[in-house]
């Protein structure tokens, strides 16, 4: 039960993006289309889960004064691994994601989880927490990219969804959806909707 909470809490009540507002930068950058967003989501899940696990295993031996640099080394190692794998097997997506895979290193969600959770919890819990937080990030990424690709390019996963007939009637794709400001506004609307039904999140 407690373990399940580790997985599900970050999806809603403690969502890294809509509640803690971390990692917004990459959210705006990689969500123009669904495919890169999904790849990005999976990469982040892998990196959060494994880095949480490794740091949790090492936590007793890490001297507190240099813990940040050790956390960074672990994250950087994993990110480079993910980056190389993407380059080898998903070259076109990896090109679209460009620097943003590398920038997972600076994603606040990772450092936040390592500092707040993995440093004082056992490996299994830390691993689950990593997957949960990565998934919380991924869910928003995928939802956002669905909206942006559908209204911005009229397609989903690269396949045309909005029928040709509608374009002939005068429908035009919304160019603002492709621009980062609209991504930020859409995240804002998501936060709004989430707070609309999740009463726990409303500050007094």
Chain positions contacting another protein, by CB under 8 A: 170-172, 174-177, 179, 181-182, 185, 188-189, 192
Q: Which is nearer to another protein, 93 or 187 (CB)?
A: 187
Query: Shortest distance, CB of residue 69 to another protein, whole angstroms?
Result: 39
Query: Shortest distance, CB of residue 19 to another protein, whole angstroms?
Result: 18
Q: Which is nearer to another protein, 106 or 194 (CB)?
A: 194
Query: Shortest distance, CB of residue 15 to another protein, whole angstroms?
Result: 20
Q: Which is nearer to another protein, 73 or 189 (CB)?
A: 189
Using the structure block, give the residue that is written with the tokens 């949960």. 132
The CA distance from 10 to 17, in Å, is 9
The CA distance from 46 to 39, in Å, is 11
Query: Shortest distance, CB of residue 172 to another protein, whole angstroms?
Result: 5
Q: Which is nearer to another protein, 31 or 107 (CB)?
A: 31
The three-class DSSP label of residue 156 is: strand
The CA distance from 156 to 147, in Å, is 9
The CA distance from 171 to 6, in Å, is 44
Query: Shortest distance, CB of residue 141 to another protein, whole angstroms?
Result: 22
Burial label for 173, CB within 10 Å (0-12, 13-18, 19+), is middle
**Which residues have CB under 8 Å from 35's CB, separation 6+?**
93, 96, 157, 158
**Which residues have CB under 8 Å from 21's CB, separation 6+?**
none
Q: Which is nearer to another protein, 63 or 170 (CB)?
A: 170
Quote the tokens at residue 69. 């640099």
């Amino acid at each position: 039960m407690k373990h399940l909470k580790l997985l599900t809490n970050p999806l809603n009540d403690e969502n890294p993006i809509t509640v803690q507002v971390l990692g917004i930068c990459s959210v705006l950058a990689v969500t123009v289309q669904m495919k890169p967003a999904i790849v990005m989501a999976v990469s982040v899940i892998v990196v959060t889960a494994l880095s949480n696990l490794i740091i949790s295993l090492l936590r007793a031996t890490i001297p507190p004064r240099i813990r940040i640099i050790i956390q960074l080394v672990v994250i950087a190692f994993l990110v480079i691994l993910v980056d190389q794998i993407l380059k080898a097997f998903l070259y076109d997506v990896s090109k679209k994601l460009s620097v943003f895979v590398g920038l997972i290193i600076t994603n606040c969600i990772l450092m936040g989880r390592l500092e707040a959770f993995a440093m004082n919890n056992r490996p299994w819990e830390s691993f689950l927490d990593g997957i949960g937080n990565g998934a919380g990030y991924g869910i928003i990424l995928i939802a956002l990219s669905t909206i942006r690709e559908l209204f911005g390019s009229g397609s989903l996963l690269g396949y045309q969804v909005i029928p040709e007939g509608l374009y002939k009637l005068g429908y035009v794709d919304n160019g603002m959806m492709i621009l980062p400001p609209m991504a930020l506004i859409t995240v804002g609307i998501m936060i709004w909707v989430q707070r609309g039904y999740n009463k726990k999140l409303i500050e007094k």
